[in-house]
Structure formats: C-alpha cells, structure tokens
Structure 1
Amino acid sequence: MDKYLEYILEQMKMLLAIDSPSGYTQEVTDYLMEEYKRLGFLPEKTVKGGVLVDLESGDRANGVLLEAHVDTLGAMVSEIKSNGRLKITPIGGMNANNAEAENCRIITRFDGIYEGTCQLANASVHVNGEYDKTGRTFDTLEIVPDEPIADREAAAALGISTGDYVCFDPRTVITRSGYIKSRFLDDKLSAAVLLGYAKYVKDEKITLANRVYQHMTVFEEVGHGGAASVPDGVTEVISVDMGCVGEGLSCTERQVSICAKDSRGPYNFDLVTSLVKTARDMGLSYAVDVYPHYGSDADVALTAGYDVRHGLIGPGVYASHGYERSHVDGVLNTFLLLKGYLG
C-alpha cells in the first residue's frame, strides 16, 4: 500500500496548491480531468463544473457513487473601501477568527492576481488602543493588497473590483511523525484518497462486484455539491469527506471516521452497519461518531430526490474550517476501508 499512500499524499499537495473556493474551481477540475486521463479513465465535466468518472468495472444495476469535493472556503470582495483596502464576504463557512493575518491572493476577472494579507482594520497594536477589545468579524477585517494603493480609485485602476475572489494560503506541511497540517484538508485530502483508489483499481486490474463512480463536486461548501449527476443505476452514495475530531467525539486524526448521524439526520442504517463491519473485520483503526454541525454531499443527494442509500466516511480532521490537521494513518485507514468495502 506504500505506493498508493505516497501517490495520495502527492496528489493532496497538488490539489491544495490550486486555489478553488466554491464557484472558482475550473483550474482544479481541469487538473483532475488530466490526472484521471493519465490514470487511464474517461472523466467528464458536469454542466455544474464537477468531474464525474466511471471506474469501468462491475454491475451497473447496483452502482456506488463516491463523492468528494474540491471546492474550499474562501472570500469575495464586497466593497473597495475609501482607503483602497477591501471588505470581503465569506464563501462557505470561512470564519473571521481563522482568517486574520493570513496571506491571500486577489483574483481579478481581467487583470491578473494580486497578493495581499487579511488584517484587522488598523492592525498595529502600537497605534490601535482597541485592538484587544475588537471582535473579529468580516466587518472589522479587511484585505490589504500588497500594492501601493491609497484610495478606491487606485485599487480600481489595477482592475480590482467587487466580485473578485480572495483565496487564502493553505500552508501545507507533513511532519516527520506523519501529521498533515493545512487549510482545506476538507476536502482535498479525501479527494486525493479517491484518486488513490482509482489508481489502485486501474493498476491492479481490480474487477469490482458493483459499478463504482467517482464525483468530485464543486459546490459542497455552499450546500448543493451533490444535488445532481448521480448516474443511472446507483443505489448507494458515499461521501468521502473529513471525519470530525473534537470534544465529545471518539475519532482521532489517525483513524477513519464513520458517521452515523449529522445535523441533517441519520445515515442509512444498513450501509453504516456494513461499513462498520468491514472496518472491524479488517482490523482497521476506526471510530463511529455523531457530528453535531455537519452536512454532506450524500445528504444533499437525498434532498435532491435521489432514491439511494447514503453514508459518510473520512480521515479524522481536527480544527475543521481552520488550520486543519490529520495524519497519514487516517488517510491509510480510509483508503483501506474503501478497498475492503467495495471489494
């Protein structure tokens, strides 16, 4: 399994290096299209912009759709302030407390990319006597472009305008002890796991009992990623997303998490039971948890009216929607659970 784990981590780093907040995902999906083709598959772009691929083995009558998402949190310029700084509105669940002091890129529509930093307005402690008392919100934070801008007109002259995307640095690190630290492990880590599984099926010439499809969605962070493009014959939809790690939950970053229920309700009992049995029989390190503040692409597929069983698994991720942390063991356990469950 070492070569597949190495490939997964390599793909994770490649995906994380491509900016892709919800709605600005063409570059990352272009990359995925080329990578699937390189692996020997025939991917297709959905009208919505996601990537759908048939792993080309197994009975179409009882297909399984694996979903991961490559859209991330981010922000958008909502106003150019009189001093040339930029007010932003969050995309997805981006939290202002986690955005302060982060380096970022401002993606203009026609005039290139500018570097900048997200800062508290009047960010100098030696100047701002209210620094400690100021709540961090998207009304008190601003983007400071790394350009000689002193007013609204100067920013506009560079081509910066309302509606431009603001993308935050992921700051990806893999430690000597195997911990993976980065923004946007949710869900580019699991997207890489799906690529690893596709490579395994192709390289090992695996014959699957049921048809398996993969869908890399691009609107999960804003709530409608999995609302379309479920192929005919699919009876199970499994989101491979981040597993929650935190107080009151049993999962760690070194395990695969199997979700029994999230904020939208319970997952399919029989499917969850089969996933747990597979993990137990294989001797994997796993946890079954209830996520208090969570929704997945698999949930959305049911909301959209698809008549399918749904489940959710993923490597444990701590500090979700912030500077996240997982571990290579959690990645491997997730990969092995997919391998065991899908046969």
Structure 2
Amino acid sequence: MTSPLKPQLNREYIVNQLEALLGIPSPSGYCMAIMKYMKDEVGKLGYKLEMTPKGNGMITIPGQMADQVIGISAHLDTLGAMVRSIKPSGMIRFTPIGSYAMHTVEGEYCRIHTRDNRTYEGTVLSTKASVHVYTDARDWKREEANMEIRIDETVKSKEETGKLGIAAGDFISWEPRTRILPNGWIKSRHLDDKASVAALFGFMEWLKREGVVPSCTIKLIFSTYEEVGHGSSFIPADITELIAVDMGALGDDLSATERDVSICAKDSTGPYDYNMTSRLIELAKREELPYAVDIYPHYGSDASAALRGGSNIRAALIGPGVHASHGMERTHADAVVNTAALLLAYVMES
C-alpha cells in the first residue's frame, strides 16, 4: 500500500459551509434556493454546477484518466412536509415529506412557503396539545391525522388562513435549530445529508487549493429527491463507480460513533460492492481515520436509487456518523472532515 495522503483540509471552511447549508430550507422538491447557493459557492472555487432537468446538480472535475469516471453523490434535500388541507379552525393539516416519526416534530417551529413567495411561521402540535384540557393528551397517538400546525397569524377559520395565500400543496420546512459548539460537536436537524455536502465542499476546496488533478475524472452529484427515494435514480452513463456520501446511522447493534466515518457494507437494498468497500476500509486504516463498518437494514441511499434505476455500476456508501437520524441529529466536525479525507484518498489512487 502507498504512503498516507494526509490532506490538510480546511476545517473552518467545511464547518462554515455546513452552517450556511443548514440555514437554507430545502425539503424534497423545494431546493431552488439551496441550488442557487450551491451554484454561487462552487463558482467561487472555480467549478461549474450544471443542472439536470430533474433539479439535481452536477460538477465535473477532470482527472488524469478521462475514460475512468467515478461518481460521488450527496443529497441537499431534507425531511419536511406539505399543506394537505386547511381545517375549519384555520389550523393546517400536513402530510409528511420523507420518513419520520411524528413525535420527532411535535413542538417544532416551522415555516410555510406559499406559491406566491410568502413565508409564515408556525408550530407543529398534537390536536390535543394541552394536558390541562385533554385527559388523554399524553396517550393521544402521534400520527398524521392527530397532528396540526398552528400558524403565527390571527386566523380562526379556513377562510382567514386562505386569505394569507396558504393553500394545499404549499411546502413546509422545519427549523434546523443549529448549534455549532467550540468543542466540535454539531447538533441540528438536517445533518442528513448536509453534513456530507459540507464534506464535499472540503473535498473540492482541497483539490483547488493544492492544484491537484485526481487520478480519474470525478462527477459530483447533488440530489434533491433522496428523502423520497429517487434522488440519483438517473446518473450519467459514463460513471462506473458511485460512492454515495450520506450520514451513518448510530444505535443498538451498530459500531459507529459521531466521530467516525461510517462505511456501510449493506443496507435495505442489499450489499454494496465488495472491492470498493474493502478498498475504503483499507484506506481508512492507512490514513488513520476513525471508522466503523455497519449494516443498515432500514436505510437506502442515492447509490441504492441508482442501482434500482438500472445503472450498471459498482457502488459504495460512506458518511459521517450521525446520532438520532431523522430527529434532533448530532455529529462531530471530525467525522465530517474525515469523510472528505477518505474520499480524497480514494480518488487520488483509483
């Protein structure tokens, strides 16, 4: 095995990009603002973001071997909701975007984005929100039919809410509540998968700063429908290997921590490519990066979507360890930076 690469990644730049990304609402299907941010920021690095008809973004980084193309994907879309209907009380009934347990959003602040570009604030509540009023408030099942959004406007009827411009089909985003602590801990909603996108910013910044040409051509794919299952279902035909960069889940029966790079050997769609996964493990050891290999039976990725879409590729999955996925998530800056370091080691020698 060759000597370690040991790239000096710009940790401050990576964390700053993550904070900026977390502040931009982007539930699946509502990623226009974050894509504009991406286009502007990658332009500052000297790269060009091309848009697909579907709304995904793609950056091509030429390599020493033009005929060998590796894809690296991360998703910009997040969990969220959509206005299902307006209730007679003026409250909003919502339908989820993405998969999450209702108790993880109860009490959360949110924003309602109307089709005519108005934004209103609200709070997610159970329909029996007060123990002082409802004897069964504690036991009331937290499911879609029993949840609603209280709008922070003076409305008492369906008609009054409608006059605000709020209607069925409007997107709803959850407040991220981001906290970046001096000791490196980062807690926020939507670290899945904006932490991985921040790692790719670090990846790009290092290549540009060092003036390094990777061994193969790289196509970075930023998808906008991953949380609903079809983010990178289409990828360019010249990609032969795809590494999905997505958060590593933590919990019982799993080895990774929030400071590790997670390497997923198998998820709900089956095993990832043996040789790619083995190579990533070897490189993590060589680079002395804290890592863990885990199995995620309730998980799917952009690589899963590409394989289901018929792509004839090898695929692997890595990412920073994230606790309490699809809830109030937490990771550490070390895991984000080290994810970028592992990717660089892989593409410099493929």
- TM (normalized to structure 2)? 0.95
SS at match of 1:276: helix
Q: Which AA in structure 2 matches 1:188?
A: K
Structure 2 equivalent of residue 312 of structure 1:
317
CA contact (8 A) 1:61 1:234 kept: no
Q: Deviations over 1:115-135 (max 9, x none)?
A: 110011131221121111101
How far apart, CA to CA, are the structure 2 residues paired with 1:196 and 1:107?
31
Q: Does 1:254 align with 2:249?
A: no
1:50 matched to 2:29 = no
Q: Deviations over 1:6-62 (max 9, x none)?
A: 111111111110000001001101110111111101220111111100122332222
CA distance in 1, matches of 2:55, 2:316: 23
Q: Tell me, yes or no, if the aligned pair for 1:242 and 1:313 is still in contact at 8 Å.
A: yes
CA contact (8 A) 2:49 2:59 kept: yes
For 1:150, the equivalent position in structure 2 comes to 156
Matches within 5 A, 1:163-202: 163-202=169-208
CA RMSD for the aligned pairs?
1.1
Cα distance in structure 2, aligned partners of 1:304 and 1:111: 34
Q: 2:24 aligns with which of 9, 18, 27?
A: 18
Deviation of 1:2 after TM superposition, in Å, equals 6.4
Among 236, 241, 246, the alignment partner of 2:241 is 236
Among 96, 102, 109, the alignment partner of 1:96 is 102
- Structure 2 residue runs of 5 or longer lacking an equivalent are 1-6
| Unaligned residue ranges in structure 1 (runs of 5+) | none
Distance of aligned partners of 1:111 and 1:216 in 2 relative to their CA distance in 1, 3 Å threshold: closer
Range moving further from structure 2, 142-151 or 332-341 = 332-341
Distance 1:158 1:111, change over 3 A: farther
- The letter for the 2-side match of 1:276 is I
Provide closer, same or farther for how the CA distance between residues 111 and 36 of structure 1 changes in structure 2, counting only shifts above 3 A.
closer
**Mapping for residues 272-291 of structure 1, pairs under 5 Å:** 272-291=277-296
- Mapped partners of 2:84, 2:247: distance in 1: 30
Percent identity of paired positions between Structure 1 and Structure 2: 44
Q: Secondary structure at the match of 2:145?
A: coil
Q: 2: CA distance between counterparts of 1:111 and 1:148?
A: 20
1:69 aligns with 2:70: no
The alpha-carbon distance between structure 1 residues 3 and 260, as it changes in their structure 2 partners (threshold 3 A), is closer
Cα deviation digits, residues 279-325 of structure 1 (max 9, x gap): 11111111011112100101111111111110000000010000001
Pairwise CA distance, 1:264: 0.6
1:127 aligned partner: 133
Residue among 12, 32, 42 paired with 1:36:
42
Per-residue deviation, residues 184-233 of structure 1 (Å, max 9, x unmatched): 000001011111101111111111111111010000000000111x2343
Matches of 2:206 and 2:84 in 1, distance apart? 44
* Contact kept in structure 1, 2:74 and 2:196, CA below 8 Å: yes
| Contact 1:251 1:316 (8 Å CA) reproduced | yes
Q: Secondary structure of the residue that 1:75 maps to in structure 2?
A: strand
**How many residue pairs were aligned?**
342
Q: Which amino acid aligns with 2:57?
A: V
Does the Cα contact within 8 Å between 1:242 and 1:315 map onto a contact in 2? yes
- 1:78-115, CA deviations, whole angstroms, 9 ceiling, x for partnerless residues? 01000000000000113211010000001111150101
Q: Which of 117, 126, 149 pairs up with 2:123?
A: 117
